Chain A
Amino acid sequence: MFKRIITFFVLVLFVMSIFSCGQVKKESGIKIAMVTDVGGINDQSFNQSAWEGLKRAEKEFALSVSYLESTQDADYAPHMETLLDAGNNLIWGIGFKMGDTIKEKALGNPDQKYAIIDYAYGEETPANVVGVVFKEQEPSFLVGYIAGKMTTTNKVGFVGGMKFPLIEKFEYGFKAGVKLANPDAEVLAQYADSFTDAAKGKAIANQMYENGADIVYHAAGGVGDGVIEAAKEQDKFAIGVDRDQNSLAPEHVITSAMKRVDNAIFNVAALLVKGEFPGGTTVVYGLKEGGVGIAPTSYKLVPADILEEVEELKAKVISGEIVVPSTPDTFAEWTM
């Protein structure tokens, strides 16, 4: 019996390995890889968006692309080295959590190109590194304006993932937009201390709706799924983030503040292929650069006249007439 089982397993293996021999690696020359942060590759948010961008670049420029998922912060460094040994031309770190790791590895391996999402080294950017940051406050400002105009209760909510400067950019941009549209409106802001706990997002959003808020904006990754769920159940409105989240609840997600990580990844890949890798610099994607914006599906639920005003605002932000606040201090100045 035992022997028979072993024989069976071995046979299965052989048969299946015959079928799987068709796997041939693509030989196009340029290889790009990315390391996800602990959110994982299917996070409905920026890791997923980054991978979509890489996939698009793969088709467009015949690259070979791959990714490595991290489950702990301690994974970042070994993953970077695995990709280094795999002979990649460019290695992406997705998320500011890899900031220190990328810098250390970049200085230790000056011939290897690196890039990172959501991290700026400023003056200290090593020559082989590109930092990519987004002006998250700008699309947040626009959706805040929409929320301020559309609220009937003069109360809107903001649910953040965890309180640190990156997420605060969403919060204060949003608050500024609301205040501009409707100076009487109150913004309830709360942090979930998580990017994955959808149940907690739902609980927070439910409480906000019960306290009179009728629109809740989230910048909290997976927690936001719960926010949108709550909006659906209570028949209130929600605003999505990062990607166009209207499809999650077509009647309730009025708009989304989009952060086009995919575009950034794609653009850097294009530059790399052309041999114009912008090493040593920080690339900033704002409204002006088309790296952020509001969701194309906004017209479905947002009245046309409000969208027109948003377009005007957008033009003002692009021209520099309006500088959207992104920190508690700049927001305090803004409201003065």
Chain B
Amino acid sequence: MKLTLKELRKKLYIFATEKTIGFTLISIFLGLVVGAIFLAAAGFNPFQAYGIILRGIFSKPSYISYTIVRATPLILTGLSIAFAFKTGLFNIGAEGQYIIGAVVATAAGYFLHLPLLIHIPVVIISAVLAAGIWGGLAGYFKAKFGVHEVISTIMLNWIALYFQNFLIYTKGFQKPGGETSHSIQPTANMMILKTWKQSEAGREWLLQHPFWKDLLRTPMNWGFLIAVLMAVLVWFILNKTALGYRLRAVGFNKFAAEYGGINVNKNMIISMFIAGGLAGLAGALQVVGVSHKVTLIAAMEGYGFDGIAVALIANSSALGCILAGLLFGALKYGGAKIQPFMQAPSEVINIVIGSIVFFIAIPKLIKVILTRKNKKGGIK
């Protein structure tokens, strides 16, 4: 008995300290525990709260669908930041690149009149290119003038935000009397069965078929599949191509990379271009799949900033971003439900997310705790 417990502990120790995934899982667990303590301190039963969250994510097909829809942009902005991380750059500008992607997608979706199958790709590609250039700008500034990308991307975020608001106020783009742009043409729509869902016949039919009504009431779209595809593509580029090798080499040590004959400046611009494009794709997919328009915004919506947390939780791994994005989307979507169902403050979810990131950011602490115990116990 004692031996097995020791062995178990040893295995747990190795799992937690030497495997990134184990360490991440422990951080997530600790984050949830911290959230539970806050809930309990506020006088709410944490088990009931987490029960509501779990049921709020999984108990209906529409909940799962909403979670996925919520996670899609986060996966992509997470990928954007993770990609830049891998190449030694900190892309805080995912927020602004997202905005550029969204606004360009809306413009291309509204002004262009193209046939069904061509319109969506045109919209998405133009949004990705525009956002890529937006991100590449920060890379260019760094390469050419040595402006740190953290500074330039933060400023570009605000420029993007006001640029979007400026465009919405432009005649011809603004929906008259509203604070939104016009909606994109039906040909650029990627939401499944959108027109049918909102037609008389569609509503009638759905009222009689509760299962389909439940499923189709969400803005279900193909965005998630594209996000997964992108994660695989990013993984492939980084790990299996010469470009990825060069980018990572710059990330590890740019002086060594330069000595090795790699054009550091060019690679920084390429890296920021790709990172920007990924964040822009998030904005474009949100427009074609969910919102179909852009709205005047007074403050950042947070897709890009949440992406930073997603990338951190994923430890900058491309495939990890899918899981981290889903976790994040689930927490954000399901977490809001503790408010109406048990009057508990949904801010607790932000505490949970913050704690998870915190625990991930201080791996040393957990390692120190584990190592001390194990040294005392004489295992090693």
Q: Which residue numbers of A lie inside 8 Å of B, CB to CB?
A: 1-3, 5, 9, 12-13, 16-17, 19-23, 25, 33, 38, 66-69, 71-75, 77-79, 81-83, 85-86, 88, 96-97, 104, 107-108, 110, 161-165, 193-197
Task: Find A13's partner among B40, B62, B341, B370 (CB 8 Å cutoff).
Answer: B40
Given contact pairs A17-B46, A67-B340, A108-B203, A97 touches B295 in the complex (Cβ within 8 A): yes
Given contact pairs A83-B340, A162-B179, A104 touches B333 in the complex (Cβ within 8 A): no
Query: Which of B135-143, B247-255, B298-306, B353-361 lines the interface with chain A?
Result: B298-306
Of all chain A residues, the one with the shortest Cβ separation from B295 is A73
B15-43 CB contacts (< 8 Å) to partner A? 33, 36-37, 39-41, 43
* B240 at the binding interface (Cβ < 8 Å): no
Of all chain B residues, the one with the shortest Cβ separation from A73 is B295
Residues of A within 8 A of B207 (CB): 110
Residue contact A2 to B370, C-beta cutoff 8 Å? yes
CA distance A12 to B35 in the complex (A): 12
Of all chain B residues, the one with the shortest Cβ separation from A19 is B43
Residues of B within 8 A of A33 (CB): 340
* Closest beta carbon of chain B to A44's beta carbon, Å: 15
Residue contact A17 to B40, C-beta cutoff 8 Å? yes
Residue contact A97 to B179, C-beta cutoff 8 Å? yes
Residue contact B178 to A78, C-beta cutoff 8 Å? no
B289-333 CB contacts (< 8 Å) to partner A? 290-291, 295-296, 298-299, 301-303, 333
Residue contact A164 to B296, C-beta cutoff 8 Å? yes
Task: Find A162's partner among B9, B296, B337 (CB 8 Å cutoff).
Answer: B296
Residues of A within 8 A of B301 (CB): 71-73
Residue contact B340 to A86, C-beta cutoff 8 Å? yes
Of all chain A residues, the one with the shortest Cβ separation from B62 is A81
Given contact pairs A33-B340, A77-B219, A97-B179, A9 touches B33 in the complex (Cβ within 8 A): yes
CA distance A23 to B52 in the complex (A): 15
Residues of B within 8 A of A104 (CB): 198
Of all chain B residues, the one with the shortest Cβ separation from A193 is B165
CA distance A165 to B296 in the complex (A): 13
Residue contact A20 to B298, C-beta cutoff 8 Å? no
Residue contact B40 to A16, C-beta cutoff 8 Å? yes
* Closest beta carbon of chain B to A237's beta carbon, Å: 26
Residue contact A196 to B298, C-beta cutoff 8 Å? yes
Question: Given A73-B291, A78-B66, list of 10 further CB < 8 A pairs?
Answer: A2-B12, A12-B40, A20-B39, A20-B45, A66-B343, A74-B70, A110-B207, A162-B179, A163-B169, A197-B299
Task: Find B339's partner among A12, A17, A68 (CB 8 Å cutoff).
Answer: A68
CA distance A5 to B198 in the complex (A): 54
Residue contact A107 to B203, C-beta cutoff 8 Å? yes
By size class, the interface of chain B is 35 or more
Of all chain A residues, the one with the shortest Cβ separation from B60 is A85
Of all chain A residues, the one with the shortest Cβ separation from B342 is A23
* Closest beta carbon of chain B to A79's beta carbon, Å: 7
Residue contact B47 to A17, C-beta cutoff 8 Å? yes
Residues of B within 8 A of A2 (CB): 9, 12, 369-370, 373
Question: Per-residue 0/1 for B359-376: is the Cβ within 8 Å of any A Cβ (1 yes, 0 no)?
Answer: 000000000011011001
Residues of B within 8 A of A85 (CB): 60
* Closest beta carbon of chain A to B358's beta carbon, Å: 16
CA distance A162 to B373 in the complex (A): 58
* B181 at the binding interface (Cβ < 8 Å): no
CA distance A171 to B203 in the complex (A): 41
Residues of A within 8 A of B64 (CB): none
Residues of B within 8 A of A71 (CB): 301-302
Task: Find A81's partner among B43, B217, B295 (CB 8 Å cutoff).
Answer: B217
Residue contact A13 to B37, C-beta cutoff 8 Å? yes
Residue contact B33 to A21, C-beta cutoff 8 Å? no
Residue contact A82 to B43, C-beta cutoff 8 Å? no
* B262 at the binding interface (Cβ < 8 Å): no
* Closest beta carbon of chain B to A226's beta carbon, Å: 14
Task: Find B340's partner among A9, A73, A82, A162 (CB 8 Å cutoff).
Answer: A82
CA distance A126 to B65 in the complex (A): 27
Given contact pairs A66-B340, A67-B339, A13 touches B290 in the complex (Cβ within 8 A): no
CA distance A17 to B372 in the complex (A): 31
Given contact pairs A1-B369, A17-B46, A17-B47, A72 touches B302 in the complex (Cβ within 8 A): yes
Residues of B within 8 A of A86 (CB): 340-341
Residue contact B339 to A164, C-beta cutoff 8 Å? no
Given contact pairs A23-B44, A97-B295, A104-B198, A82 touches B336 in the complex (Cβ within 8 A): yes
Residues of B within 8 A of A108 (CB): 197, 203, 206, 213, 217
Of all chain A residues, the one with the shortest Cβ separation from B67 is A78
Residue contact A23 to B45, C-beta cutoff 8 Å? yes
Of all chain A residues, the one with the shortest Cβ separation from B343 is A66
